[in-house]
Structure 1
Amino acid sequence: MQDPYKLLNVERGASQEEIKRAYRKLAKELHPDINPGNAAVEQRFKEISQAYSILGDTEKRKRFDRGEIDASGQETPWKGGFYRNHAGTRRGAKYNPFDFGENVSADDIFADLFGAKTRRVRRPGANISYTVPISFLEAAQGAKKRIKLADSKTLDVQIPAGTEDGQSLRLKGQGMPGVGGGPPGDALVEVQIQPHPFFERKGTNVHVELPVTLQEALLGATITVPTVHGNVSMKIPAGSNSGTTLRLKGKGIQAKDSAEVGDQYVKLRVMLPDRPDQELQDFVKNWSQSHGYDPRRKAGMT
């Protein structure tokens, strides 16, 4: 996989804010919702999302810079031949390839291996942590994602609908093997939700700012609105202003461990044509001469 810095087109010394801006810019250009059916763009979006899952997290970025994880977020093997497992150590601690767990020494392990007369140590295997990036809609709707385990096996992980950013899923028995017949550890899969170009999540509710025409706002209209569940029709009341917020009940995110679903809030933004023609300008000029109004005074700003 390519260097995440190159994928996001940022320098290695870039700040976290610069990395975030670079990702958002690329995400808006390459998002599958904006480029439907374009497999190449979709692949490129997945690559930058994976890159941001590394560089957008301060700790993971440090670990990548130190060579402890690769560009896909997986642990890199220690050069001495032992697999480096960070999940079994305290956060930020250096890795010790001969750390066999609390109260267990290397002598215990080697004695057991070579048949020396000593007590047999039975210890569970260490847990291993993974990170899986998913899109905003995959988190909202639920999805199946494939991850590569430490032993190079692949496993399909079911992401429940309504999964939150940073939530960890436990895969029983998919961690490091146990010692002395002990059970294997678990795999802990941390979910990282990538930002969406126009949806924003607040709890179980979804917020979106929707551009509307002058005609739709002034006269009212029934328009198509995107939601995390697909497009729906929504009625705009006549005389709506920028900032008017309408609610779509039950079109938000499903609550964790509950059948309850949040709402979607649609904030209107009235947009003039890109290039207002002379006819529109003349009409507004003539109209304003006898219908003047001061919205700033009404807001107490003058």
Structure 2
Amino acid sequence: MEYKDYYATLGVPKTASDDDIKKAYRKLVRKYHPDVSREANADARTKELNEAYGVLGDPEKRAAYDELGKAPRAGPAGPAGQGFRPPPGWGAGFESSSGNDSDFFKDLFAHVGGRRRQPFQARGEDSHATIRITLQDSYHGATRTVTLRVPEHDRQGRVITRERTLNVTVPKGVTAGQQLRLAGQGQPGTGGGGAGDLYLEIEFAPDARYRIDGRDVHETVPVAPWEAMLGAQIDVPTPSGRVSVTVPPGSQTGRKLRLKGRGIPPAGSAPAGDLYLVLEVALPPADTAGARALYEQMARELKFDPRARLGE
């Protein structure tokens, strides 16, 4: 059975209001009415228009038709009209409007025994959005306020958007890409059907100090040249609090010190990640006479050539 696009038949978008649909139908019916039209296919076009308006002009049938349009179609993927099959029992609750309806219309509303028995019901669609949190939120948990713009119909049937604000609990141990499910906070259902769910995908706010890799965290830690060369005990602030670590003698920029289990905390069956402190040798400025004298002394006595091995 070929799928019929009733919106295309009336020449209106799927977001058209009830008034727009009615106006489009009346205009086209006057144009193609067999008593006044000289078009060769006037009678067939009038039947198509009546059938389309019989669905789109009825709020419940239109809602059911819109829901049906989201159903998978058998056969190759592509535009409407390729091997369409409605779900079993889909048309229950609606009656055919006339004896001249197409096979498409009859199949859609084939399971009716006379008058409407009950309104069409359908669960609302799930909604998806992104929530941005800090690394500290993942370490300690947090409550965040999320403002969403959601579509709805006004009294004239036009699609408008309104803002909705939710307080969201961010559990400890969440990672980037993880989704938080808020049951019943998605799109409203049709005909009394339940609302869909809202899925919020976790995204970390950028932070120059940290790089996150799954549940592992990399933190850049500056060290003085003498701390790197001679070794030192230093205090480092981390997302879980300050720690004291040992810098091994002879350390260079890029050396990693692993702190096991101090990455993103465990959640469910996922274990805690690790924290890697990435050393970065920071040079003091030569902004005083004494500092400049020290650098000059180093240049004379150390005979250090950082480019000696380049090109090997």
Q: TM-score, normalised by structure 1?
A: 0.56
Partner residue of 1:178? 189
Of the structure 1 ranges 203-212 and 126-135, higher mean CA displacement relative to structure 2 is found in 126-135
Instruction: Report the secondary structure of 1:235's partner residue.
Output: strand
Cα displacement string for residues 140-195 of structure 1 (whole angstroms, at most 9, x for unaligned residues): 43222223464755432222223232332221122233233322211222222211
Give how far 1:134 is off. Answer: 1.7
Alignment of 1:180-219 (within 5 A): 180-219=191-230
Show structure 1 runs of 5+ residues with no match. Answer: 1-77, 82-96
What code does the residue aligned with 1:156 have?
N
Alignment partners' CA distance in 1, 2:252 and 2:185 = 55
Q: Which residue of 2 aligns with 1:100?
A: 66
On the 8 A contact 2:180/2:200 being kept in 1, the answer is yes
Show the counterpart of 1:138: 137
- The 1:146/1:287 distance shift into structure 2, 3 A limit, reads closer
Find the aligned partners of 2:130 and 2:17 in 1 and give their Cα distance.
Answer: 25
The one-letter code matched in structure 1 to 2:210 is F
Residues 154 and 281 from structure 1, CA distance in 2 versus in 1: closer, same or farther, beyond 3 angstroms?
closer
Map Cα deviations across residues 208-253 of structure 1 (whole Å, 9 max, x no partner).
2221122322333222212221222222223322222212222211
Post-superposition offset of 1:294: 3.7
SS in 2 for 1:139: helix
Does residue 270 of structure 2 align to residue 264 of structure 1? no
Distance in structure 1 (CA, Å) of the matches to 2:267 and 2:306: 43
2: CA distance, partners of 1:230 / 1:290 = 41
CA contact (8 A) 2:176 2:214 kept: no
Superposition pairs of residues 240-251 of structure 1, within 5 angstroms: 240-251=251-262
Query: Residues 128, 201 of structure 1: CA spacing in aligned structure 2 closer, same or farther, 3 A cutoff?
Result: same
Query: Do the aligned partners of 1:218 and 1:238 also contact (CA within 8 Å) in 2?
Result: yes
Give identity over the alignment, percent: 34
How much does 1:259 deviate? 5.6
Give the equivalent residue in structure 1 for 2:127.
128
- If you compute each CA radius of gyration, which structure gives the higher value, 1 or 2? 2
Distance 1:131 1:289 in 2: 57
**Which amino acid is the alignment partner of residue 145 of structure 1?**
R
Question: CA separation of 1:188/1:294 partners in 2, compared to 1, >3 Å: closer, same or farther?
Answer: same
Q: What's the counterpart of residue 301 of structure 1?
A: 311
**Within 2, Cα distance between the matches of 1:177 and 1:284?**
71
Q: Aligned runs of 1:232-243 on 2, under 5 Å?
A: 232-243=243-254
Distance 1:254 1:195 in 2: 19
**How far 1:101 moved relative to its partner?**
1.0
Q: Per-residue deviation at 1:254?
A: 2.6
Equivalent residue number for residue 153 of structure 2: none
Task: Figure out how many residues of one structure are paired with residues of the other and give that number.
Answer: 203
**Offset of 1:287 from its aligned partner?**
4.5
CA distance in 2, matches of 1:263, 1:171: 30
Gaps of 5+ in 2: 1-14, 19-61, 69-85, 98-113, 151-161
TM-score normalised by the chain length of structure 2: 0.54
Kindly provide the amino acid, as one letter, of the partner of residue 261 in structure 1.
A
Which residue is 1:164 aligned to?
A: 175
The 1:202/1:296 distance shift into structure 2, 3 A limit, reads same
C-alpha distance in structure 1 between counterparts of 2:136 and 2:164, whole Å: 27
Which residue of structure 1 aligns with residue 235 of structure 2?
Answer: 224
SS of the residue 1:243 aligns to: coil
Give the aligned CA root-mean-square deviation in angstroms. 3.3
